[in-house]
Amino acid sequence: MKELVILSGKGGTGKTITTGAFASLAKNKVLADCDVDAADLHLLLKPEIKEESDFLSGTEAVIDKNLCNECGLCRELCRFDAISEDFTVNPIACEGCDFCANACPQKAITMQRNPKGKQFVSETKFGPFVHAKLGIGEDNSGKLVSQVRKKANEIGKKLKSDWIIIDGSPGIGCPVIASMGGADCALIITEPTMSGLHDADRIIKTAKHFNVPVKLIINKYDLNPEMSDKIEDYCKSNDISVLGKLAFDKTVVEAMVNGKTIIEYAPESEISNALREIWNKINTEIL
C-alpha cells in the first residue's frame, strides 16, 4: 500500500481538483482529506457519513463552585487572565496550562478535555473516505490530521488497498508536516508565478527535510510560459521530476460548480487526458 499526499505551498493552486481527479482514476484506494482547517474535498466526493466521532484535544480549566471558597489565588496566578471575578473560566482565554488546578488549595479546579472538532468515515462513489472538521478557532490541527491518516491506514490495511490518496493542507506548518510524514511521495502543485515558485521551494525543502520523495505538477502553465520554464529549470537543478503541466481550462470551474471531478464532468477534455497521463506516471514510478 502506497501513500500519496498532494500538497501546495499555498491554497488555491489546484490541489483538491487534482486529488479529485486521482480519486476518479485510481483503483482500490482509500481517500483522506487532511486539510482539516478548511476541508473541501467532500464537495466533489459527496460522502455518505458512516461513522462520526468527536476530536478531543487540549485541556480547559473548570471550577467546581461547590468546592471553591473564592480565595482568589487562581485569579492572581493566571497569567492569561482567564478567570473572571465571579470565578468562572473564559474558555477562549484559558491555555490549559494546569497551573491554577495545581495551586488551588481547595482542589476545586479540574482540567477537562473538550471536543475541538469532528472526524468522519464515509463512503463515496470512489471508495472509502476519511475526513474531519476542526472547530472554528481551535488548535491542534496537526494532531487531528494524524488521526485522519491513522484511520485511513487502518481502513487501507483492512481492505488491502493499493493506495491511500491524501489531500493535504497548504503551506508548511504543523498540519502539513502531519500530512506528509512517512508518505511514499509528496506531489506538489504549483502555479507559474514568482510566488508560486517561492511557495513550492518552501514545501519541497520541508518534504526533503523529512525524507519524503517529491514530484511536481505545474498548473495553468500556459498563462506564464516563461515562469513555467524557470520552475522546470529549478526542478532539474534540484533533481525533482515534473510529472506534467496542466493548461488553464475553464471546464475545471464548470466541474466545480456542478460538484464533480474534472474526470467525471469532461472525461475527454485536454486537462482530463493530461491528468490521466500524470496518474499513469505515478503508478509506474511509485506503485
- What residues make up the domain containing 65? 57-115
* Judgement on whether residues 157 and 137 belong to the same structural domain of the protein: yes
* Judgement on whether residues 147 and 265 belong to the same structural domain of the protein: yes
Residue 113 pLDDT: 86
CA distances to 67, 79, 170 from 107, rounded to whole Å, are: 7, 19, 43
Other beta carbons within 10 angstroms of residue 177's beta carbon come to: 19
Whichever domain contains 83, its CATH number is 3.30.70.20
Whichever domain contains 178, its CATH number is 3.40.50.300
Angle between the N-to-C axes of helices 250-257 and 15-25, in degrees from 0 to 180, rounded to the nearest 10: 80
* Judgement on whether residues 74 and 154 belong to the same structural domain of the protein: no
Residue 287 pLDDT: 64
Please indicate, yes or no, if residue 120 is contained in any of the structural domains.
no
* Judgement on whether residues 64 and 158 belong to the same structural domain of the protein: no
* Judgement on whether residues 23 and 149 belong to the same structural domain of the protein: yes
* Judgement on whether residues 230 and 195 belong to the same structural domain of the protein: yes
Please indicate, yes or no, if residue 51 is contained in any of the structural domains.
no
Tens digits of residue pLDDT in 2-53:
999 999 988 889 999 999 999 999 999 999 999 998 899 999 999 999 999 9
Please indicate, yes or no, if residue 141 is contained in any of the structural domains.
yes
Strands (E), the chain: 2-8, 29-33, 48-63, 109-124, 127-134, 163-170, 185-190, 214-219, 241-246
Interacting residues of 31 by C-beta distance below 8 A, sequence separation 6+: 19, 23, 41, 45, 124, 126, 127, 128, 129, 130, 152, 164, 165, 166, 167
* Judgement on whether residues 160 and 277 belong to the same structural domain of the protein: yes
Please indicate, yes or no, if residue 52 is contained in any of the structural domains.
no
Residue 255 pLDDT: 95
* Judgement on whether residues 91 and 184 belong to the same structural domain of the protein: no
* Judgement on whether residues 35 and 171 belong to the same structural domain of the protein: yes
Residue 285 pLDDT: 86
Residue 69 pLDDT: 95
* Judgement on whether residues 40 and 63 belong to the same structural domain of the protein: no
* Residues in the chain where the model's pLDDT stays below 50: none
Q: Rounded to the nearest 5 degrees, what angle is found at the Cα of 190, between the Cα atoms of 189 and 194?
A: 165
* Judgement on whether residues 65 and 171 belong to the same structural domain of the protein: no
List the grid coordinates of 232: 522546470
Residue 116 pLDDT: 87
Residue 130 pLDDT: 98
